[in-house]
Structure 1
Amino acid sequence: MEERVKEHKLKIYPDSFTSKYNCNKLVYFEEYSKAEEAIVREKRLKKWKRDWKIKLIEDMNPSWVDISDNWNIDFNRLRDER
């Protein structure tokens, strides 16, 4: 998960939604053991109304703080896959 946060914050993919709209705060996340489960959940969330999404975030993170700020992320190093 930390690698995905780095990719977003460093705008590794300049044509992505997060890069285009400067979305650089992690305010909500869910963890899944299988990628397929996460994909299904993400597709469901995309269909939700904005108000529902905001409530989901605020139930977990009412101040909308960047959750990843407390993580010890090394931004000088990305996976060697690139």
Structure 2
Amino acid sequence: MSFERTPCVYILASQRNGTLYVGVTSDLESRIHQHRTNAAGGFSKRYRVKRLVWFEVHEEMEPAIIREKQLKKWNRAWKLRLIKETNPQWHDLAEDFGFETLR
């Protein structure tokens, strides 16, 4: 499945139970590539937050942006529970799209 022009909200982690980053994009694969190559800069580069541990697809960008803002306001425990509900092993979901395994 291609995520080009598909609004997605996503959570990256530095490691299992590590630093979390919540973002929104219209091209998930390109955005993950930016995070992995440090082209995204900022928070994700500084804290080495590169593992895709959760994402949610939306039909339109506006609801995706609203959801991103909602998740950013959540406390850490709620975000961890959200990840564990769908990805209890903290598998790097980007590997399912062909990205290399992170060390």
TM-score range, shorter chain: 0.7 to 0.9
Partner of 1:79: none
The aligned amino acid for 1:8 is H
For residue 36 of structure 1, report the CA deviation from its aligned partner: 1.4
Moved over 3 A (4+): none
State which drifts further: 58-67 or 29-38. 29-38
Unmatched tracts of structure 1, length 5 or more: 74-82
**Residue 7 (structure 1) aligned to one of 28, 34, 37:** 34
> What does the per-residue CA deviation read over 1:23-75, in whole Å, with 9 as the maximum and x for residues that have no partner?
010000011121111111010001111101100000010011100112125xx
Q: CA RMSD in A?
A: 1.1
Partner of 1:25: 51
The aligned amino acid for 2:51 is K
Whole-angstrom distance in 1 between the partners of 2:40 and 2:81: 29
The answer to which structure has the higher helix fraction is 1
Partner of 1:55: 81
Unmatched tracts of structure 2, length 5 or more: 1-27
The answer to which structure has the higher strand fraction is 2
List aligned pairs for 1:39-50, cutoff 5 A.
Answer: 39-50=65-76
Q: Which has the larger radius of gyration?
A: 1
The aligned amino acid for 2:53 is V
The number of equivalent residue pairs is: 72
Whole-angstrom distance in 2 between the partners of 1:70 and 1:32: 19
TM-score, L = length of structure 2: 0.65
